[in-house]
Amino acid sequence: MLRIPCPHCGARDEIEFTYRGDATVARPGPDAGVDAFHDYLYLRTNPRGWQAEWWQHSSGCRAFLKLLRHTVTHEIRAVATATETLEVPGA
């Protein structure tokens, strides 16, 4: 089980959080077309290594957070609020 350090509540178990997706994907503009939206919704990479992810502290302060998590070891290197930026190594 992951221990996720919430900036507002401190370290909490993963069960209190909800995974919300890849934090590096940009939504296409309204005039982008069907193919762009299809790719946005369904085509994702499955990276090995560090990835920025959205998580919500759904059973706590309800804040949206960005985590820098290693997809193999599940190590969490950094946590930021939704308005802060994270540097992804190798990106």
For the chain, list the domains and their CATH numbers: 3-81 (3.30.2270.10)
Q: What is the pLDDT of residues 10-68, one digit of tens each?
A: 999 999 999 999 998 889 999 999 999 999 989 888 889 999 999 999 999 999 999 99
| 26 phi/psi in degrees, rounded to 5 | -100, 130
- Dihedral of the alpha carbons of 88, 13, 60, 27, in degrees to the nearest 10: 30
d(CA 27, CA 25): 7
d(CA 82, CA 53): 11
| Residues listed for the chain | 91
Q: Is the separation of the CB atoms in 3 and 14 below 8 Å?
A: yes
**pTM (2 decimals)?**
0.85
d(CA 67, CA 21): 10
